[in-house]
Structure 1
């Protein structure tokens, strides 16, 4: 992965709850 875990966690922390829900849904579809 290009991003480190810390970078991903920082990005998620800045996102809204809905963004996180959409991200999880997108991951489950892959």
Structure 2
């Protein structure tokens, strides 16, 4: 997956989906994006 593909996928998401993605990434990598 290229950066452009990832950005396109993100643009198609709504706010709730994006929040879920951020939360999942934080859990996956043990970091906080806040």
Query: Over alpha carbons, which structure has the higher Rg?
Result: 2
- Structure 2 length as normaliser, TM-score? 0.75
- Give the alignment's Cα RMSD to 1 decimal: 0.5
Residue segments in structure 2 that go unaligned for 5+ positions in a row? 29-34
Query: Which structure: greater helix fraction?
Result: 1
More RCO (CA 8 Å, sep 6+) = 1
- Structure 1 length as normaliser, TM-score? 0.83
